[in-house]
């Protein structure tokens, strides 16, 4: 089945990341990292189908070498928390061959990235899923700092000072000039990302069309399409690895529940939609001639007569009994009551969607906090050791040796302190809350199962009674009109 995925994040020293190590991993190579004095080696990594560095015309040719490029990026950035590169990943299509996927990806990257001056380190993966569905995808790393026309590294942003009416710079309360930091490219703007997402969907659909395939993808979120299907929780490599080995995880179980719920929502809405379509004709007829409870009696009588003619007395009686039980159980006295029932059913499904959507957001937030807290506890001993050292060369050396761990610790401590200023994280309470939310999701599944059963009965009632009755009324009206 055709699928759409397009995601971008940033590789940053502030997160303890190395851009050379990231490039080595994606390309499946060994790269010497001169900045950190390390040699990340991923030559044994499987699943790498294709790699290429795609350069704009003004880029120095030596940047076609992966090691040269990313070491240049590292040494150009002086800030200890510098953002180094954009990291894109987007899904390829199982309906296409390996060659078609590579050609499609290259076309998109050239037209949307390289043509706008971006250096693109491309790696296409098709990991072995151990019998699972194939997952071909593209990784693209792009230096955040742009290149000047002469091939030198440019500025990420520049200052625009606020001026008074006479054109003089304005000072703030601290005596310093006030300015706005203006980015030199639009690469990180949400509007640009939306354009890229849309263009990738167009690229896929054009490829499908050229190949004569009926499948299509849509870059829009469920929400922007007016759909309220539920997103899944991001699993991450550790969870995926455990699931691949057959080890069930909380996140995996939740995502399976979300998939099931979305499938049921589609089925229920399809059933209800069919019923409500019938009532467009019903409303038109009702506007011409008032209908009351006798409509239902006439419809049921005709239904019983047709059943006996088609199936015989026994089957007809059984089917009629089932229909009457459905009417009694749902307090239906006329076709208007039936319409109210189906609209209420639709509302129930939408409410369940909304509630599980809120649960999903809560689970994501809590799991993010728990993940941050794990990192906090892991790096706290290193921070304490550094903090307890007297100032001097030994402390400075320790800070350099453990720069990554200390940066991660400070980052998660800051983020945690925004939620819990005293840094007392109620870990057990949060874990209990996740379990409660996941259990509530299972209860919502039962609600959907019940809604689906009613929807199936309503659909059957609609097909066997409401639609034939409206057709009969329409024929009767046409006959009467002809006689006049």
Over residues 139-145, the mean pLDDT reads 94
C-beta separation of 4 from 10 below 8 A: no
Burial class (CB within 10 angstroms; exposed 0-12, middle 13-18, buried 19+) of 447: middle
pLDDT of residue 65: 94
Cα-based distances in Å from 254 to 153, 248, 353, 437: 46, 10, 14, 10
Burial class (CB in 10 A: 0-12, 13-18, 19+), 185: middle
For residue 398, pLDDT beyond 50? yes
In the predicted structure, residue 361 carries a pLDDT above the cut 90: no
pLDDT value for 484 = 31
pLDDT band, residue 108 (cuts 50/70/90): very high
More confident call, 163 vs 274: 163
Selected residue with higher pLDDT from 363 and 26? 26
User: Which range (132-141, 180-189, 224-233, 350-359) has the least confidence?
Assistant: 224-233
Buried-state track 322-342, b at ≥16 Cβ within 10 A, e below 16: ebeebbeebebebbbebbebb
Lowest mean pLDDT among 277-281, 364-368, 456-460: 277-281
Q: What is the mean pLDDT of residues 46-75?
A: 92
Most confident of 30-34, 281-285, 300-304, 323-327: 30-34
- Per residue, the 3-state secondary structure of the chain, as one string, reads CCCCCEEEEEEEHHHCCCHHHHHHHHHCCECCECCCCECCECCCCCCEEEEEEECCCCCCHHHHCHHHHHHHHHHHCCCCCCEEEEEEEEECCCCCCHHHHHHHHHHHHHHHCHHHCCCEEEEEECCCCCCCCCCCEEEEEEECCCECCCCCECCCEEEEECECCCCCECECCCCCECEEEEECCCCCCHHHHHHHHHHHHHHHHHHHHHCCCCCCCCCCCCCCCCCCCCCCCCCHHHHHHHHHCCCCCHHHHHHHHHHHHHHHHHHHHHHHHHHHHHHHHHHHHHHHCCCCCHHHHHHHHHHHHHHHHHHCHHHHHHHHHHHHHHHHHCCCCCHHHHHHHHHHHHHHHHHHHHHHHHHHHHHHHHHHHHHHHHHHHHHHHHHHHHHHCCCCHHHHHHHHHCHHHHHHHHHHHHHHHHHCCCCCCCHHHHHHHHHHHHHHHHHHHHHHHHHHHHHHHHHHHHHHHHHHHHHHHHHHHHHHHHHC
pLDDT given for residue 232 in this prediction: 59
The pLDDT value given to residue 402: 86
- Per-residue pLDDT at 16: 82
Q: What's the rounded mean pLDDT across residues 6-30?
A: 89
User: pLDDT tens, 426-436?
Assistant: 889 988 888 88
What's the rounded Cα separation, in Å, for the pair 300 and 327? 11
Q: pLDDT at position 288, please?
A: 42
The pLDDT assigned to 403 comes to 84
Segment 278-294 shows an average pLDDT of 45
Instruction: List CB contacts of 175: < 8 A, sequence separation 6 or more.
Output: none
pLDDT in tens, 205-246: 999 888 888 777 775 654 444 444 555 555 666 666 776 777
> Quick check: 441 pLDDT over 90?
no
Look at residue 160 in the predicted model and tell me its pLDDT.
Answer: 73
Domain 6-145+190-210 belongs in CATH node 1.10.220.150 = no
Angle between helices 403-419 and 393-401 (to 10 degrees): 80
Boundaries of every domain in the chain: 6-145+190-210, 156-185, 236-484
Residue 278 CA: distances (Å) to CA of 139, 234, 347, 430, 474: 48, 40, 18, 48, 13
pLDDT of residue 17: 86
Q: Which of 7-11, 268-272, 291-295, 389-393 has the lowest mean pLDDT?
A: 291-295
Q: What is the pLDDT of residue 27?
A: 92
Say what the pLDDT of residue 229 is.
Answer: 52
Looking at residue 25, its pLDDT comes to 92
- How large is the average pLDDT for residues 273-296? 47
As a whole number, mean pLDDT of residues 302-316 equals 55
Q: How confident is the model at residue 66 (pLDDT cuts 50, 70, 90)?
A: very high
87 pLDDT more than 50: yes
- Give the pair of three-digit tokens for residue 198: 């849309």
pLDDT in tens, 24-49: 999 999 999 998 888 989 988 888 88
Average predicted confidence (pLDDT) for the chain: 76
Distance in angstroms (rounded) separating the CA atoms of residues 150 and 179: 28
The pLDDT-based confidence of 291 (bands split at 50, 70, 90) is very low
Average pLDDT over residues 337-358: 70
| Spatial distance between the Cα atoms of 208 and 217, rounded to a whole number of angstroms | 10
CA quadruple 324, 329, 331, 336: dihedral, nearest 10: -60
Q: In the predicted model, what is the mean pLDDT of residues 314-342? A: 63
Q: Compute the distance between CA of residue 324 and CA of residue 217 in angstroms, rounded to an integer.
A: 44
| Dist. CA 281–CA 8, nearest whole Å | 48
Minimum mean pLDDT range among 31-45, 192-206, 273-287: 273-287
CB neighbour class for 345 (10 Å; exposed up to 12, middle 13-18, buried from 19): buried
Give me the pLDDT at residue 340, please. 67
Is the separation of the CB atoms in 138 and 89 below 8 Å?
Answer: yes
* pLDDT for position 144: 92
Q: Return the pLDDT at 434.
A: 84
pLDDT for 461 equals 66
Residue 393 pLDDT class (50, 70, 90 cuts): confident
Residue 302: predicted pLDDT = 58
Question: Could you tell me which residue, 365 or 31, shows the higher pLDDT?
Answer: 31
Percentage, residues of the chain above pLDDT 90: 20
């Amino acid at each position: 089945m055709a699928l759409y995925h397009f995601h971008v994040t940033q590789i940053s020293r502030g997160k303890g990341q190395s851009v050379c190590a990231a490039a080595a991993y994606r390309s499946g190579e060994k790269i010497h990292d001169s900045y950190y004095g390390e040699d990340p080696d991923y030559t044994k990594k499987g699943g790498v189908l294709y790699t290429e560095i795609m350069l704009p015309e003004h880029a120095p040719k030596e940047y076609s070498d992966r090691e040269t490029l990313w070491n240049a990026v590292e040494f150009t950035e002086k800030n200890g928390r510098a953002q180094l590169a954009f990291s894109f990943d987007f899904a390829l299509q199982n309906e296409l061959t390996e060659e078609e996927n590579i050609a499609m990806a290259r076309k998109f990257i050239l037209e949307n990235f390289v043509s706008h001056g971006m250096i693109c380190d491309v790696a296409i993966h098709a990991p072995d899923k151990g019998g699972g569905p194939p997952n071909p995808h593209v990784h693209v790393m792009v230096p955040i700092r742009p290149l000047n026309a002469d091939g030198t590294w440019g500025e990420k942003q520049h200052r625009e000072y606020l001026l008074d009416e006479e054109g003089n710079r304005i000072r703030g309360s601290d005596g310093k000039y006030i300015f706005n930091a203006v980015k030199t490219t639009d690469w990180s703007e949400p509007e640009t990302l939306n354009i890229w997402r849309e263009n990738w969907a167009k690229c896929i659909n054009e490829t499908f069309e050229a190949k004569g395939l009926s499948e299509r993808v849509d870059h829009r979120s469920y929400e922007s399409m007016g759909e309220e299907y539920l997103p899944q929780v991001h699993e991450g490599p550790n969870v995926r690895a455990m699931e691949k080995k057959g080890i069930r995880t909380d996140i995996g179980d939740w995502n399976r529940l979300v998939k099931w719920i979305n499938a049921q929502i589609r089925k229920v809405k399809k059933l209800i939609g069919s019923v409500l379509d019938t009532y467009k004709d019903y409303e038109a007829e009702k506007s011409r001639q008032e209908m009351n409870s006798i409509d239902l009696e006439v419809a049921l009588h005709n239904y019983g007569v047709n059943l006996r003619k088609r199936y015989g007395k026994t089957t007809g009686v059984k089917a009629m009994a089932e229909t009457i039980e459905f009417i009694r159980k749902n307090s239906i006295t006329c076709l208007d009551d039936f319409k109210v029932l189906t609209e209420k059913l639709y509302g129930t499904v939408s409410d369940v969607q909304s509630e599980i959507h809120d649960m999903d957001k809560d689970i994501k937030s809590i799991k993010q906090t728990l993940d941050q807290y794990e990192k906090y506890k892991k790096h706290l001993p290193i921070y304490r050791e550094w903090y307890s050292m007297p100032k001097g060369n030994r402390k400075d050396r320790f800070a350099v040796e453990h720069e990554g761990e200390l940066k991660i610790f400070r980052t998660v401590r800051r983020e945690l302190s925004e939620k819990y200023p005293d840094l007392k994280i109620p870990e057990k309470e949060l874990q209990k809350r996740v379990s409660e939310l996941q259990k509530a999701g299972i209860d919502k599944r039962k609600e959907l199962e019940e809604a689906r059963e009613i929807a199936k009965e309503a659909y059957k009632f609609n097909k066997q009674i409401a639609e034939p009755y409206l057709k009969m009324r329409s024929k009767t009206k046409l006959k009467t009109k002809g006689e006049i």
